[in-house]
A = this chain, B = another copy of it.
Amino acid sequence: MVERIVAAGREVLVEDGYDAFSTNRVAAAAGISPGSLYQYFPDKSAILDLVVDRYTEETAERVAAAMSERIGGIGIEVVRDIVDALLTALEADRALLRVVAEELPLARSGPRRAALERRVGELAATYLLARPEHSRRPVPSVSTWVTVLAIENLAVRWVLDQPAITRDQILDEIVALVAGYLLS
């Protein structure tokens, strides 16, 4: 039932946008009555939080999976594969990404995004520490922070704004950005 509500919430968000995310609308989409929401959630924002949580976790999961799979690999191709996975994950539900990234008050999606960044960042930091030859930057925590934020933003904007840049191009550019930063 919680799942049904979360699904309905996601649907409302995708189909009608954040402004339409009212308890009445979500309940209607879930095919239940407004009062029933409150048997599973303390208030409206808890529903929204869980919808965003689920989405963020989904995305984090895919990226983290790609990372742990590829992380044994050699050279710069690792980065390309990971970013490729990230793009794929973001492309999976562009409509929801748009709402989460652009309509939600960032204060709501911010913490989830930060969690994602932390999770991915830790993996990356571990990797960099294990292979010091892969980074010439002096402070690993800092270069991780920089790398993760830069990649994340570029990926999100590329998916949402769909600039005149091909997928291969953006992958090349991001790889070049990261490689140039860490290795030169």
Contacts and interface: CB of A to CB of B under 8 A. Distances in A.
Interface in A143-184: 143, 145-146, 149-150, 153-154, 157, 161, 163-165, 169, 173-174, 176-177, 179-184
Given A142-B165, A153-B149, A173-B142, A105 B107 contact: no
B105 A103 contact: yes
A18 interface: yes
Interface in A130-147: 137, 139, 141-143, 145-146
Contacts of A180: 177, 179-184
A101 interface: yes
A137 B114 CA distance: 31
Contacts of A103: 105-107
A104 interface: yes
A31 interface: no
A174 B154 CA distance: 15
B106 A176 contact: no
B146 A177 contact: yes
A141 B164 CA distance: 9
5 contacts: A104-B105, A137-B173, A142-B165, A146-B154, A179-B184
Contacts of A73: none
Given A102-B110, A103-B106, A176-B181, A145 B163 contact: yes
